Each structure stands twice: as C-alpha cells, then as structure tokens.
Structure 1
Amino acid sequence: MTASASLPYVVFGVSGRTGAAAADALLRAGCPVRVVVRDPAKGRPWAERGAELAVADLTDFASVTKALRRARAAYLLSPPHYQREDLFERAGVVADVAARAALAADVPRLVALSSVGADRASGTGWIRMNRLFEQRLAETGLPTVFLRAAYFMENWLPMVGQAVRSGVLPTFLAPPQRALPMVAAVDVGSAAALLLQEDRAGSGVVALTGPKDYAPRDVAALVAAALQQPVELAVLPEAAWPEALADAQFSRAALAGFTEMTRGLNSSHIDIKSDPAALEWAGRTPLERVIAELVQRQQEAVV
C-alpha cells in the first residue's frame, strides 16, 4: 500500500443526506474515512463504524484546515441556512473558508456538491450559492470535480405529507406534464464517493440525474399507487407560494431565492444540459422507490 492510499477520504456534511451517503459508500468499499461534524455526538455512529472523527465549523478557517490535513481527497459542500436573512452572505463566507483551508491543507483532490443551473450567471435564486462555491474553489487551482445534482427527489417530502393527509399533492413545478431531471440523495452520495476514488487529473463538472425524468403528474401517480387511493395534483400559482411555504419558516431572502429558482426551473432557464462541458452521469434509484419511502414515513408520522 502506498502512503497516499492509507490517507483518509474526508467527508463533510455527514449529518445531511449526501454526505452520509458518500461516507457510507466509502466505508462499505473498505476505504479509510474521516467524517467532519460540528457536534461530536453526531459523529459517534460513524466512529463506531471505524471512521476517524474531526470537529469543525464551516465558517472557521483553523478547524476546517485541521480537518482537511493529510487527506487523500475531500468531499465539500455548503449547507444552506434558509431561516437566515444573510444566507447568501454566509454562503460566501463558507466558500471562502473552504477554498482557503483546502489550499492551506494542500488537499490533492476535491469533489464539491453543486447544483443544476450553477453555470448560469443569474436568474437561479438559491443556486447562486452553489455558483459562488464553485467559483471560490476553482480559484484555488486545486483539482476539483463539481457535482451538479438535479432536482432532489426528496424535495417532494412536504408535498407528499400533504397528499397523505388530504389526498391532494401540491406542486410548485409547472406545467404539470413537463418532465424534468430528478435524482435521489443516495445516488448523489454514491457518485461523490466514486469521484473521490477516481485517479483522473484536473478539474471538471459532472451533471447528475436519475435514471429517467419525471413530471409532477408522474409524481402524483406514484403517490397514489403507494397510498392505493386517488391523489389530485394541484399546481400552485406563484401568488400562493408564500402561504404554502409558511411552515418552512423561510427568511424573506430565502423565499425570494426559492421564487427565482422555481421560476428558472419552470421556464427551463435552469437546465441540466445547459453546460456542454459537463459530463453526464445517471443514478440508479428510481423515483418510485423514493416516493414509496416518503409515503411510508409520512404515514408513520400521522399514526
């Protein structure tokens, strides 16, 4: 075994969906892993599985640099804070800290979670945070793969909950018959794990989708099948979005970002194929499986 092969893969975001999936895939493959958490208690399950534990705050240069030292490669992301009015400013701080820390720690290779639409300079709402993350990391000159994920299948969770309770599935996406790429979080994490282990040199972009595209009406049909009862699809007009999102407790800045992003999705301004330089990958998890799991979770919550 070479010295570099014994170094760990560093994974941020293991308290979230994609980071957890990436760390899980690496551990299952027998790779050395260092997980990075803010709360040591959240790292214990990973330590019990053999992972090394690092504690860091994404806005703190010293702790992030320490977490990244002597790494074989690292998976980075910028968690959004939708309750904050300064969520875009905070994303800028996280991007700056991540870039400076990765340089200071001399990380040989980075994989950074990004989003469909990050190649667009404007009209993307929340996705501007991912674009900023890409730009700051690219400026380091470190070999970096930007993993631009399509619309997360798990985003349907609150709408599925309403369908379970009322038989009506609301959607912000329109028109209801237009299919768009969606991807499961587990596939994003699995793709990140594979990219971390690749030996290819240089930087690039991977655009990740699911095995097929789905329209809102397809989602309604899948929810109905899982519930074994009819489900009505209700396309929400933009004027109704703030009230529909009230339970999410978005800040005004976050709500404005959501609105602009959703307009971009509905107009196809945000498009997984808009960057011709991106390498296209497809995950294996079908929406049918994710919807069935979401329905079960919501049914258990109701009980």
Structure 2
Amino acid sequence: MRSPLLDLPGAVAADGVDADVAAHYGDLFAEQRALVKGEAVVDRSNREIVRIAGVDRLKWLNDLTSQKLDTLQPGEWTQTLILDLQGRVEHHMTLVDDGEAVLAHVEPGTSEALIDYLDRMRFMLRVEVSGVDDLAVLSTATEDFYVPRGDHQGKPLAGIWAYEAFRIEQYRPRLGFDTDHKTIPHEVGWIGSAVHLTKGCYRGQETVARVHNLGHPPRRLVFLHLDGSVDTLPPHGAPVIFENQEIGTVGSSARHYELGPIALAVVKRTVPVDATLLAGGVAAAQEVIVPPDAGRNVQIDPSLRRRIR
C-alpha cells in the first residue's frame, strides 16, 4: 500500500519494491545525519506485517523456523528464517511478541506466500495467522517499532535511501536484494542473528548443521568500498569481476554521507579477501563480513560488525 507520508512536502518516491515509500525528502545526507543522531525516523510502511496469535504460537514458530522462539519474552525483537528442505532461505522475518501475538514484518510482496505456508502447517495447534493492514513499520537507524499507518510520531523523517545506507554499513543483508534462490544462512552472516545453532530440528536444519560442523558455504557476503570518482552506483544484480571472471553479483548499494558509495555483494568463497574487484564496472575494495573459512565451527565475530556512531 502507498504510504500516506508520500504526500508530505518534499517527498520523492523510491523505486522497485520500495516505491510505496519515500526515497528521500529533499536532502539525502542531512537525513542520514539526523538518522544517526537519533533525531529522525524512517517510514518503512511498505513492509508487510503478519500476526500470529494463539497460545501455541511461540513453540509452533520455534519448531518451524531457524531461531529459538519458545522462550522469547514480550517486547524482545529478533529475526528468524524459514528454509526449504535443502537449507535455502525462503523467508526472513523480523518479529516481536507483545504478550498476546507475534507481529512479524517481511519484505514487500512476500506475506501472502508466508501466510499460505504457515496456514498449511497449523494442523491442530492453537494458532491463528493473518495479515495486518492498520499498522506500519517505523525505524530508527538501529531499531524498529510499529505505529498506525501514516503516523511518524511527530519526528522528522528520513527516506529509505538513508536507512539503506546504514543497513549496508552495518553489514545487514536484505532478502531478495542480497540473497537469491540459492542462498543459505552461512553465506550472508545470518548465523546467530537469525539462526540458533543448538535449538533443535526444523526444516533445513541438516544443511545448517552440516555446513557449520563439516564444510564451508560456497559463497560469502562482502562489504564494498566503491570508487567515489564514478557517478553511478552499480545496480542490483550487476556482475562482480575478479581477474576477468565473474565471481559474484552486487546486492544493495547506496551513497553514505561519510563512507561515500558502498555496496554489499555475494562472491565466491575462494576469492582472495584483499583482491580489488570490479562491481558493475566500478572498482571496489573489500571488507570481510563472512570469512572464507566460515563453517566448520568458525563463528563470525560480532565485534567486527559496524556500529552506528
């Protein structure tokens, strides 16, 4: 649904799946500065919200998804994944339980398939699954919360481009942007943040355990510092080249008010971590997010993740 906040003065609509919210409100870098200072919020009301109610909801979701949810406390936000039988990511949910129901927000255009899957898995359990139209996601640089649609809590607004710049800076992948139909959680750093390694069985868990204990994922997520002398950003899906061979694709890209042009990309695991790459024809230096030796009980050090200053 188109956001009512797009009618505010200065609002410029984004494109693609984010076309229902504002890309910016007239000054991208000023909006980023306000966002990092905690002075602005971002309208992400194009995110779709799914409500899961019923007394069995947390144990049921714990059995279906990758995160440990049976002990989730009211007000505690977390992430979880639904995987296919081969351990490939089908859905990514950011969720909170309010004591009566779980509210999960997902990528635009994905809630119908998610609700259909969850409905088919209810069996005789006491759960109810439905879409939510009267709430919207409002975000700071680091946190999400739910508000009535069109409400921005009286705070200044920053556009989705500002939010995306900080998401990329924080190494946070986005489903459908930094993933594809082959993505497994290890490749994009979702182990820990969205995958609990010891909680027990769920669909796709065998692949997660096998990679964690015995192998390495075939690809790895990298952060790219792009050549700032080039006027354009590499588009989503642009090839990443090393030594004249395509070794990956660009996911998300943005202009950051301090770092300049940046991007996330998924590349072959064996690409040297110090290699300069070409991302959509733009020279790019890497920062390691997922190390080449990820798996085999090698964990991603949380301290390596960027923090909002």
Shorter-chain TM-score tier: under 0.3
TM-score using structure 1 length: 0.23
TM-score by length of 2: 0.23
Q: Normalized per residue, which structure has more helix? A: 1
